[in-house]
Amino acid sequence: MKVGATTHNFVAKCTPQANCKYRITSVGDANPLTLLWNGAATSIPAYQYGVNTVADVKGIFDAALASNPNYMGVDVVDDVLNQAFTIDIHAPFGATLVLNGKKLSDCGCMPDFVV
């Protein structure tokens, strides 16, 4: 990029990749849960609908998955009608996620830039 007579060079910090959403509806459990990410197990601390808040559950998943290089974030919504949390984990295309034996649904992908 040129600003006046000065040329500025940039180094790419991100790469294009598909950001996919994997969804599950969960009431949680009084005991820690196990999330299998392409077969690798991660312990998710206990949470329960009616005890924990949406912010609590988001924080629990963020902390548990922070070290996973493929983790792109989580959205948590209170599904009042079904008295459960709707949890959307963002991950690259082709991930297989299973929470306590229940496979998360692939809800589609969108283009994104990741570090």
Pairing of strands 84-91, 28-29: unpaired
Residue 2: inside a domain, yes or no? no
Amino acid at position 33, single letter = L
Spans of the chain below 70 pLDDT: 12-17, 112, 114-115
Residue 13: inside a domain, yes or no? no
pLDDT at residue 80, as a whole number: 96
* Residue 56 falls in which region: left (phi positive, over 0), alpha (psi -120 to 50) or beta: alpha
Residue 19: inside a domain, yes or no? no
pTM: 0.82
Residue 43: inside a domain, yes or no? yes
Residue from 32, 4, 29, 44 nearest 84 by CA: 29
Pairing of strands 105-114, 47-48: unpaired
pLDDT at residue 105, as a whole number: 95
| pLDDT tens-digit series, residues 22-44 | 999 999 999 999 999 999 999 99
- Residue 84 is classified by DSSP as E
Domain range for 66: 27-109
